[in-house]
Amino acid sequence: MPTENSEEDPSELLELRNRFAGLTVYEPSSKFLNAPDFERPKKTQNDDVKYESEVMNSLEDAFFALTALINDMNEVKAHIRYLWASYVTGNFDVTAVAVATNTAIDLVRNLMEDVEPLLEAHGGLKKMLTQLHAMHCMMEGMSPEEMLSSNAWHPDDDGPSSFVYKTYDQAEVTYIAAYQMIDSFTAVLVPGQVPLYKEGMYGYFDPESDHSQKTGKQKFEDNRALLMPFFTELMTVIDLHGWLVQDEFIRGMEEVQKTKKVPFYVVFAAQVFLDITYQLGPNIERPFTEMTAHMRFIEIDIMEHFKFHANLKIDHWPASNDEVLRQLRAHIRYIDNDPVRAAQKKWLRDLRADIPEIASHRLFRMSPLISGLTLFHFRARYHDVGHALANAWGSIQYCQHLYVALQQFVPGMARWPDLDLA
């Protein structure tokens, strides 16, 4: 409603009031209101026919569903590579990219739940991926005789011109390459034991090299050199009690250990792991470096808090709250002490095997995703306890009140951007 001091033009107010004046309101007719209810068609006498939607379970339906799913998976994978490329250029934070990546893998896992029963009805995931890969190769000009040649699916038995190496790009797109890596690892799993390999047994990956420019044989060797030792790291984590962070790859390998079957989503997680590694290249350990630096900052801040408040106590901050801070610091120390490597050294000593000298925290160095999720975990806990601490002591509120008061009475006072946003 306009006030008495309103400066609006009366003609504008009149126009506003009459905006709907041209509309006419019509009442429904009595014929319409008194019309009988519509009679639905009745079932014909002695008609026992039941109409149901057709179940899509033919082989063609299975291939269509698998192709559509893989197309979606490749789209998601392309977006994941874009996120990590943007992280390298400084556009995104590692925790945001890691959370987005893990969420994307979880989304794909949910998509797979509707398709996997259909694949199982036609021989299972391995058979369907193999046939789909063969179809892709035929579309690329391969002959059926060449694809069915002896030892075609055993790259170790053939030279660099073998079928597997020549079609390795298609094998990565159809995920049969990652599936075979995990399937071969699953075959050697023994309950209660973690497979430990001699360092360098499967070669080494050079992060300075350009994976996209390599031959099929070289790409296969890169994938094997990365995945086989990383599988050992994941299986070690699964056997550790009290591990703090779990991504979809760890979750999938835990399912592999229990069921001895390879779920499709762990194949996707493995391929994403490889893609991130090749995307980051020489920056592969940067997320680990950021994680350790930020966790060290959190630990020092907690120590400074206890030092400053050694003789300062208030009723709003009981001793139980300090225990939360001590537990947070203890968990940071737990990660800093590299429990994965400690467990592996213990197992090697029990086997009286040589303990190779390798860099600490290999799990985090190899997986930017796990480094980012771990940093997110500690940042979230640090934020929650820090917010509770600030509210208990009133640190931010009192500074805000003083800052606002000084702005009123001290002309030209310097701005404090943090409090302007508080």
Using CA atoms, how far apart are residues 269 and 247, in angstroms rounded to an integer?
9
> What is the token pair recorded at 421?
């946003």
pLDDT band at 31; cut points 50, 70, 90: confident
11 sits in which H/E element: helix 10-17
| Model confidence band, residue 13 (pLDDT cutoffs 50, 70, 90) | low
Sign of the torsion formed by the C-alpha atoms of 95, 281, 244 and 337: negative
Residues whose CB is less than 8 angstroms from the CB of residue 230 and which lie 6 or more positions away in sequence, other chains included: 273, 363, 366, 367
pLDDT in tens, 187-219: 888 877 788 877 888 889 999 999 989 998 999
Of the candidate ranges 18-22, 175-179, 285-289, 303-307, the one whose mean pLDDT is the lowest:
18-22
Please check whether residue 248 is in contact with residue 265, taking contact to mean a CB–CB distance below 8 angstroms. yes
Angle 176-186/216-239 helices, nearest 10 degrees? 50
Closest CA to 71 of 108, 21, 36: 108
pLDDT in the model for residue 25:
80
145 contact partners, CB below 8 Å, separation of at least 6: none
* 3-state secondary structure at position 205: coil
In terms of phi and psi (left: phi > 0; alpha: psi -120 to 50; beta: otherwise), the region of 162 is beta
Residue keyed to tokens 């392309």: 78
Give the CA-trace dihedral at 281, 283, 287, 288, to 10 degrees.
90
Contact at 8 Å (CB) between 202 and 229? yes
- Please, which pLDDT band fits residue 38 given cuts at 50, 70 and 90? confident
CA distance 369 to 87: 12
pLDDT of residue 15: 58
What is the per-residue pLDDT across 42-85, written as a single tens digit (0 to 9) for each? 777 777 777 777 777 889 999 999 999 999 999 999 999 999 99
User: Which carries the bigger pLDDT value, residue 44 or residue 11?
Assistant: 44
Residue 269's nearest CA partner among 381, 137, 373, 380 is 373
Answer for the pair 267, 175: CB distance below 8 angstroms, yes or no. Answer: yes
C-alpha to C-alpha distance for 107 and 105, rounded to whole angstroms: 5
Higher pLDDT, 266 or 242: 266
**Stated pTM of the model:** 0.81
- Annotate 32-83 with DSSP letters as a single string: HHTPPPPPPPPPPTT------PPP--SHHHHHHHHHHHHHHHHHHHHHHHHH
The residue-averaged pLDDT of 99-108 equals 97
DSSP letter for each residue of 355-422: -----S-HHHHH-HHHHHHHHHHHHHHHHHHHHHHHHHHTHHHHHHHHHHHHHHHSTTPPP-HHHHH-
pLDDT-based confidence at residue 16 (cuts at 50, 70, 90):
low
Local confidence band at 9 (pLDDT 50, 70, 90 cut-offs): low
Looking at every residue in the chain, the average pLDDT score rounds to 86
pLDDT tens track for 273-330: 999 999 999 999 999 999 999 999 999 999 998 898 888 788 777 888 889 999 999 9
146-173 confidence digits (pLDDT tens): 766 544 445 444 454 566 788 888 899 9
Q: What is the mean pLDDT of residues 358-364?
A: 92
